Amino acid sequence: MLRNRLLPWFTLSALGLGALAGCERSPDAPVAAPSAPAVAAVKPPAPPAVPDATAVAKLASHFFQAPRGEAPLPADTEAQVALGRMLFHEPRLSKNHDVSCNTCHGLDTFGVDNKALSDGHRGQKGSRNSPTVYNAARHIAQFWDGRAATLEAQAEGPMMNPVEMAMPGAKHVEATLSSMPEYTARFRAAFPKERKPVTLSHAAKALAAFERTLTTPSRFDRFLAGEHAALTSSEQRGLEAFVTTGCTTCHNGPAVGGTSFQKLGLVEEYPKLTDAGRFDATKNEDDRGYFRVPTLRNVEKTGPYLHDGSVQDLPTMVRLMGRYQLGRTLKDGEVDDLVAFLKSLTGELPPAERIS
């Protein structure tokens, strides 16, 4: 069984967890009077032992490497970030002035709207689930099919998408922003060297600058930094299972995912899969059924799951990935530990004044 197999890696003491002994009465203690309750003697918790540093380092190594070919992040300015924050919440970037980026990627709900398919222009729904914007700067590409190589390229797409924000074109976006004095002033501050600061391209750069600030440090980061008691014994068992069962083949790097494209149904054909995935972007038949691997940070909070939002709960998602991606039927205890580990990836949202 998984739990027994883990003992050479992590004992309770090695996990830094004190063991609380059961209550017992000392044999030398006097018998209490009938009217007085018996007092139980409790042994103090054993001092935590130092974890096996080699084992921990081996587990942690899967989450340090950067995505392949990752370029250095741009030197965003405070003015660009502040402008991007405004634009992210701006419904006037949509045709009917009723949909903003935050509509589908709620920053107070971990960057999603918790709907299978989001509501866009005139209530239309697209064909794919809205992924979280938190930690997206660590992704190898944007959108499920990876059609946008950068956050800047991604930011332009929804504004002109007829199902999402439905703006007629770049000139319409620029005219809308130029009609508001505060925006013209903020664009000048954000792009002071540009002859024409208010452009769609600059709006996308500002949005990307803001989104690069959207990170969610978690207890898992404290564990990676050496605070091994930051994860419980079940979470550490789940981490070990996550690595040894092969989950890190796809879900690796600082974002625990987002670094590659993978076929849905790698080992066994995924049932009723009609979405062509990355093929839609590349028209390469070899990319049919491939999707950008999502980040697992905050996965406890970002359901429903998959490109179509068809899976409602995390344990079911874990079982499906075990079967179709790894060829394994996971036992209940394994699923419990894996889910426990995944919940440790839930991080802290930025301060309310930064995301409201």
Tokens of 140: 């190898």
Structure tokens given for 215: 């990170």
Residue 320 · residue 173 · CB < 8 Å = no
Q: Decide if 160 is inside a domain.
A: yes
pLDDT at 151: 97
Six-digit token pair at 143?
């959108």
User: From start to end of the chain, where are the E strands?
Assistant: 261-263, 290-292
> What distance in Å separates the CA atoms of residue 182 and residue 171, rounded to the nearest whole number?
19
Q: Is residue 52 part of a domain?
A: no
Contacts of 27 by beta carbon, 8 Å cutoff, 6+ apart:
none
Select from 162, 188, 215 the last residue of a domain. 215
Check residue 168 and give its pLDDT.
Answer: 97
Residue with tokens 């491939």: 290
CA pair distance 339, 235, nearest whole angstrom: 8
Q: In this structure, is residue 43 part of a structural domain?
A: no
Residue 61 lies in a domain: no
Backbone angles phi, psi at 210, to 5 degrees: -65, -45
- Look at residues 215, 235, 267 and tell me which one is the last residue of a structural domain: 215
Which of the listed residues 215, 231, 265 is the one where a domain comes to its end?
A: 215
Q: Within this chain, do residues 207 and 220 fall inside the same structural domain, yes or no?
A: no
pLDDT of residue 68: 53
Instruction: Check whether residue 286 and residue 224 sit in a common domain.
Output: yes
The count of other CB atoms within 10 Å of the CB of residue 136 is 21
- The CATH number linked to 251 is 1.10.760.10
Task: Please check whether residue 6 lies inside any domain of the structure.
Answer: no
Q: Decide if 291 is inside a domain.
A: yes
Handedness of CA 250, 110, 217, 81 (dihedral sign): positive
Residue 172 placed within a domain: yes
**Cβ-count burial 69-104 (b if 16+ within 10 Å, e if not):** eeeeeeebeebbbbbbbebbebebbbbeeebbbbbb
Is the distance from CB of 82 to CB of 183 less than 8 angstroms? no
The verdict on 211 and 99 lying in the same domain is yes
The residue annotated as part of the active site, out of 90, 156, 164, 334, is: 164
- Residue 334: inside a domain: yes
Q: Give residues with Cβ within 8 angstroms of 300, minimum separation 6.
A: 314, 342, 343, 345, 346
Question: What distance in Å separates the CA atoms of residue 94 and residue 345, rounded to the nearest whole number?
Answer: 33
240 annotated active-site? no
CB 81 within 8 A of CB 210: yes
Question: 10-residue block means of pLDDT along the chain (356 residues)?
Answer: 40 35 39 48 52 80 70 85 98 98 98 98 96 96 97 96 97 98 98 97 98 97 94 96 97 96 98 97 98 98 98 98 98 98 98 94
Considering the domain architecture, whether residues 237 and 308 belong to the same structural domain is answered as: yes
Q: What's the structural domain count of the chain?
A: 2
The Cα 2–Cα 17 span in angstroms is: 20
147 and 262 fall within a common domain: no
Residues 207 and 95 in one domain: yes
- If asked whether residues 188 and 243 sit together in one domain, one would say no
- Please give the Cα distance from 268 to 83 (Å, whole number): 46
The helix-helix angle for 53-60 and 233-244 (nearest 10°) equals 60
| Shared domain check, 148 and 246 | no
Cα–Cα dist 58/239, whole Å: 11
- Same domain, residue pair 147 and 210: yes
The whole-number pLDDT of residue 203 equals 98
Euclidean distance between CA atoms 282 and 143, whole angstroms: 13
Do 320 and 194 belong together in one domain?
A: no
CA distances from 61 to 79, 225, 231, 233, 237 (A): 36, 11, 16, 19, 16
Largest separation between any pair of C-alpha atoms in the chain: 91
| Burial class of residue 175 in the structure, from the number of CB atoms within 10 Å of its CB (0-12 exposed, 13-18 middle, 19+ buried) | exposed
Whole-number pLDDT of residue 31? 43
Give the pLDDT confidence score for residue 66 in this predicted structure.
57
Our measurement of the distance from residue 50's CA atom to the centroid of its chain's CA atoms, rounded to an integer in Å, reads 30
Range of the domain at 313: 216-353
> Do 223 and 342 fall into the same domain?
yes
Q: 200 and 225: one domain? A: no
**How many CB atoms are closer than 10 A to CB 325?**
21
What is the structure's pLDDT at 271? 97
